Structure 1
């Protein structure tokens, strides 16, 4: 059993359907969740956080079902859904002061360490931050309560190349400490740098769930990078759907 289990999760919208999504996350591994915009990545992540209610399926963390154990589970996981949606005119210091009260495992030393790493000053306000710095702030809050699992939706979006590499280095450090990381991205080079496992979704359905090495061997052709493999698979699936 994985540290996170997603089994047959489905969600039906008028113009989109998430179709029996199943996968598990192994402790201390980095899983890259990839697919084009609108493929179901954010819907899956929202279901994993109980931000939307699936029509079917089950989700469990640490051997506990999310239903009925949400408060306990969310003490042990960190998550970021992109840019900051906090009060834009409050200082970071005041936002952190409130946020830390929700977590019994809040670690001030970790907060200071990552704030320094990300170059965030606690007298700044979200309205004064660039898009990249807003992403860093959301990640800072997720990293400051010693989370065992990190669930991140497009965490490197809006970051400059240096900051992205810096963040991927943080991922490797956290992995070495036993943290499980699950992140969606459309920046394939990020997966090439740090992912252990590739989870590929297309049109609401999981198409591949395997190690990065196995994915390259199964779907790659001579001389192809991970990016060219995924682009070719997407074009092939588009043609397949067109001729149905």
Structure 2
């Protein structure tokens, strides 16, 4: 089946600042792709390039098998987007907003919208500008989930939510992809959220993708090894994904633990440790 989103070798510079460098990844049907990186790593720029909000210098972006610059309105209906700031008319109430989207989207599901609004305990008659950041994020997600989109692009969509609300949102996202036909690209600084629901991991640093892999494969086949420089030089270069030097040792992320020499010291690998090692790694 065609990938819902296919990003191939995209590059983007602003003046002399190279923000994206040969970025490639994909979102298959039925997947949740966790997009991880520090502030300034290139995540939001990637989202904007995918949505055609900024031009790309090179590379291709295909959504549902078509170039993302395709003006077909039907394709846009099939994409749900949530950024970390609300992009809804804040002078309206939820009831008024429902009427607006009912006229905008042929696929608008009013019943599901109100199911989510009530599940998220959002007031239907208060103007959106009175909402807290957490309430605004819940509303944005409710909108994204209510027009039968096939692809969700969520950039820090769980930011500002308490743990209980995040758990509720994650359950909705898992349900969204459960049909095997829909998919999500999820950017988040909350690594525990990514760990709970992501099926694939993409880690970006300084505009370059350091890791692009199925999460299950990473935790099955990868390892964090602790060694010295001499031991590192004996490793096959093609299995070294990232390394970070400490005072008396080097932590090395390898893509095939079975190629490590016998008696190599390894550490338990959590999502948090994996993320820190990659985002703080040396070139």
Q: TM-score, normalised by structure 1?
A: 0.92
Corresponding residue for residue 137 of structure 1: 139
SS at match of 1:236: coil
SS of structure 2 residue aligned to 1:86: coil
Distance 1:139 1:131, change over 3 A: same
Q: Is contact 2:153–2:184 with CA below 8 Å preserved after alignment?
A: yes
Inter-partner Cα distance in structure 2 for 1:81 and 1:70: 22
Q: Between 172-181 and 187-196, report the one with greater CA deviation.
A: 172-181
Aligned to 1:82: 84
Tell me the residue number matched to 1:97: 99
Is 1:12–2:57 an aligned residue pair?
no
Unmatched 5+ residue regions in structure 2?
A: 225-265
What are structure 1's unaligned runs of at least 5 residues?
none
Of stretches 85-94 and 17-26 in structure 1, the one that deviates more from structure 2 is 85-94
Instruction: Please give the alpha-carbon distance, in whole angstroms, between the structure 1 residues aligned to 2:277 and 2:22.
Output: 24
Root-mean-square deviation (CA, aligned residues, Å) is 1.5
Aligned equivalent of 1:218: 222
Which of the two has greater helix per residue? 1
Following superposition of structure 1 onto structure 2, how do residues 39-188 of structure 1 map, counting pairs within 5 Å?
39-178=41-180, 179-188=182-191
- Does the CA-based 8 Å contact 2:12-2:57 persist in structure 1? yes
Match of 1:228 in 2: 273
Query: How big is the shift at 1:4?
Result: 1.2
- 1:38 paired residue number: 40
* More deviation, 155-164/8-17: 8-17
Larger Rg: 2
Deviations 1:103-145 (A, max 9, x none): 1111111111111111122212122111111101111111110
8 A Cα contact 1:82 1:138, kept in partner = no
State the alpha-carbon separation in 1 of the partners of residues 126 and 195 from structure 2.
Answer: 34
1:200 aligns with 2:245: no
8 Å CA contact 2:101, 2:108 repeated in 1 = no
* Pairwise CA distance, 1:13: 1.2
Q: Is the 8 A contact 2:11 2:58 kept in 1?
A: yes
Runs of 4+ in 1 over 4 A off after TM superposition: none
Distance between the aligned counterparts of 2:130 and 2:18, measured in 1?
Answer: 36
Q: Check the 8 A contact 1:38/1:203 in 2, yes or no.
A: yes
Equivalent of 1:24, from 26, 47, 63?
A: 26
Between 1:212-221 and 1:160-169, the stretch displaced more is 212-221
Which structure has more relative contact order (CA 8 Å, sep 6+)? It is 1
After TM superposition, the structure 1 stretch with the greater mean CA deviation from structure 2, 111-120 or 183-192, is: 111-120
1:150–1:229 distance in 2 versus 1, CA, 3 Å: same
CA contact (8 A) 2:35 2:43 kept: yes
C-alpha separation between the residues in 1 aligned to 2:152 and 2:278? 28
Q: How many residues align?
A: 238
> d(CA) in 2 for partners of 1:100 and 1:5?
30
